[in-house]
Amino acid sequence: MATKLEYIWLDGYKPTQSLRSKTKIEKDFSGKLEDCPLWSFDGSSTEQAPGGSSDCVLKPVFICPDPQRKDAYLVMCEVLDSKGQPHESNGRAHIMDDDNDFWFGFEQEYFLWDPKTDKPLGFPAGGYPGPQGPYYCSVGANNAYGREIVEEHLDVCLDAGLNVEGINAEVAAGQWEFQIFAKGAKEAGDQIWVARYLLERIGESYGVSINWHCKPLGTLDWNGSGMHANFSNTTLRTANSKETFTAICEAFRPAVAECVEVYGAHNELRLTGKHETASITDFSYGVSDRGASIRIPLYTVDHNWSGYLEDRRPNSAADPYKVAAVIIKTVKSAKV
């Protein structure tokens, strides 16, 4: 039997990488990651190699069923250079200290974008909808736009075995969110990138693009898009100590520049101190405070200071591999 393997990877574009993919046909495929062969591609077409030495190598690292195609799998790959070493654009391979004791819940926001109007779904061609407020977790044709795309994406992700924990309409018209849970930086990144890929592909059939930019409506009075990172490790989950949470939050203060560097391009447009964000130049944390850099959830306080934290600064286009890696590093640096 012939099986379709959709090899997916990140290109070398800067400051934000894009998804690429191509299909490989394998006979009598076992369905196991270890039986996915290495494969090459033209790196000169993806900003990853010069034309005179253009071969790059795809190394499969994650596999799941492809529910949208018959006899098919999705295969997330790392990119290697022609010498078999991790390419400089390969953020996953450059994670130095992955740790599955760290649990991540990423809240991936995005806009469904109408290429005809160059605006989000729900925005009239000649102007704007009513001010934001009624769109968050909304229902009804006057407030919720593109639900059929979002529902199809949810079903496909679940059928693929991804750890999607929920979806909801977001604060701006045409803006939505899905949440994914995973353990460790690499698994979290794999799942988010595959979910993003599936959403992009579903959008094709509706003639709708997915806008991952953190502030696609510029300075207008509309929320930007984040990829809020909820995280915990055994220390946080079992702390029973406000002092422990304070120490871990304080560990992020001297790491602001290092964190912001990988929290997504153009984040200065989003982290303004408005629209449920802290200013990119500040660092703060507080209980139930969505205007802080790090929110301490009520769940944590109500469970005797045991639980998790939410870093609200990563944006919608950030690389989840890099976001999770810097959070692991920073938490481990805390003096608790």
- For the stretch 125-169, pLDDT in tens is 888 999 999 999 999 999 999 999 999 999 999 999 999 999 999
Position 49 in a domain: yes
Read off the DSSP letter of residue 53. Answer: G
- Residues 158, 27 share a domain: no
Contacts 24+ apart (CB under 8 A), 21-27: 21/197, 26/2, 27/1, 27/2, 27/3
Output the six-digit token pair for 282: 């500040």
Question: Cβ distance 245 to 300 under 8 Å?
Answer: yes
Structural domain of 9 = 2-80
Assigned token pair, 90: 């390969």
- Say whether both 161 and 76 belong to one domain: no
Query: Is 126 or 42 the better-scoring residue by pLDDT?
Result: 42
3-state secondary structure of 301: helix
Q: How many domains does the chain have?
A: 2
161 belongs to a structural domain: yes
Clarify whether residues 200 and 109 are in a common domain: yes
- 159 with 288, same domain? yes
Same domain, 56 and 183: no
pTM reported for the whole predicted model: 0.96
Supply the DSSP symbol for 95.
-
Q: What is the pLDDT of residue 1?
A: 87
- CA 122, 132, 207 angle in degrees (round to 5)? 20
pLDDT, tens digit, 9 for 90 and up, residues 170-183 = 999 999 999 999 99
Residue 144 and residue 264 in one domain:
yes
User: Same domain, yes or no, for 129 and 275?
Assistant: yes
Are 211 and 118 contained in the same domain? yes
Q: Is the confidence at residue 195, as pLDDT, over 90?
A: yes
Each residue's pLDDT tens digit, 231-265: 999 999 999 999 999 999 999 999 999 999 999 99
pLDDT band at 286; cut points 50, 70, 90: very high
Quick one: 227 exposed, middle or buried, by C-beta within 10 A (0-12, 13-18, 19+)?
buried
- Whether the CB-CB separation of 146 and 121 falls below 8 Å is answered with yes
Q: Is residue 125 part of a domain?
A: yes
Buried b / exposed e over 36-65, threshold 16 CB at 10 Å, is: beebebebeebebbeeeebebbbbbbbbbe
**Within a domain: residue 94?**
no
Residue 4 scores a pLDDT above 90: yes
In a domain, 276, yes or no: yes
Over residues 282-297, the mean pLDDT reads: 96
Domain contains 138: yes
The sign one gets for the Cα dihedral 43, 86, 14, 317 is: positive
My answer on whether 57 and 177 are in the same domain is no
Residue 88 forms part of a structural domain: no
Instruction: Give domain status of residue 279, yes or no.
Output: yes
CATH code for the domain in which residue 109 is found: 3.30.590.10
